[in-house]
Amino acid sequence: MLCNITHSNNIRGSLNHMNKIKKTKSIFQRGMVLFFISMISTISLAKEKAFIPEWTAIGKATFNNGINLPMYGISVENPMDVGVLNDFSDCHKVSKTCTFAFSIPDAQKDQLQLVEIPDTGVTLVPREWREVYAGVGVDGSTSFVFYSQKDRKNLSTSQLAHYNAGACVGCAYGAAAQYFDNAIRLAKENDFLIEPRPKGLHLIKVNAKKVIFSRAVNATMEMNGVAYFDPDSDEPYSVTTVTLPKTERALASTLLNFSARK
């Protein structure tokens, strides 16, 4: 269950989908949980979404070692008004090229693409993965799930998922409690829901604000992830996870290294 993450030596990481939720005293807390689940839940929710993101070729991405990847932008629904968000980085308007301080392994150059999501950022995605749910909330929360079209009938398999709680403090504290002890304390002090730490989780603390984690999904699949929590930030919590066969750990490492490069 090893995933090499930039700036963290050889450390492990992983993510669990949402477990049992503690009982709460208020309707507000229950509503908060439902919102949180809707943002980071599995691809089955993504499949039920009526809105289908539109893919647009917006140029190429160039990396440190001279490798170029195709770059796409995908539209998302505008949470504030009728319509979609489809504005992409200015770097495409002049040269049609974006440059990233990151190295792509030569063996993976034909496997990857770079995708930009409005108000969310850019992410490396396996090139064959064209199925996606992406959303932006009115509180600044963002989420996406990419998966392979061949997994339509088995949506618990390979996927790349991301969730940022935005300005929803309760969502951030409750979710971060799975991986950060200070989030548990803050959630209890504010009477927020606390997500229990998943069973079978391998967790390594990189620093006070960053952890890497992993867990086995089944005999052949594993989930690796990186999470950030900073209660003093305007956006306190975010998490990115990759679920792939154990034989594809090198690919999982590249996807998470790019996410953790900041």
**Number of independent structural domains in the chain:** 1
pTM higher than 0.85: no
Residue 245, phi then psi, degrees to nearest 5: -60, 150
Q: Which amino acid is at 221?
A: M
How far is the C-alpha of 235 from the C-alpha of 51, rounded, in Å? 26
How far is the C-alpha of 258 from the C-alpha of 4, rounded, in Å? 11
Q: What is the DSSP letter of 152?
A: T
Q: Which residue range(s) make up the domain with 203?
A: 2-259
How far is the C-alpha of 258 from the C-alpha of 249, rounded, in Å? 14
Q: 39-93: per-residue pLDDT in tens?
A: 444 334 444 445 788 898 888 999 999 999 999 999 888 888 777 888 887 666 6
How far is the C-alpha of 91 from the C-alpha of 111, rounded, in Å? 24
Range with the lowest mean pLDDT among 149-153, 156-160, 247-251?
149-153
Q: 107-145: per-residue pLDDT in tens?
A: 999 999 999 998 899 999 999 998 898 889 999 999 999
How far is the C-alpha of 233 from the C-alpha of 256, rounded, in Å? 22
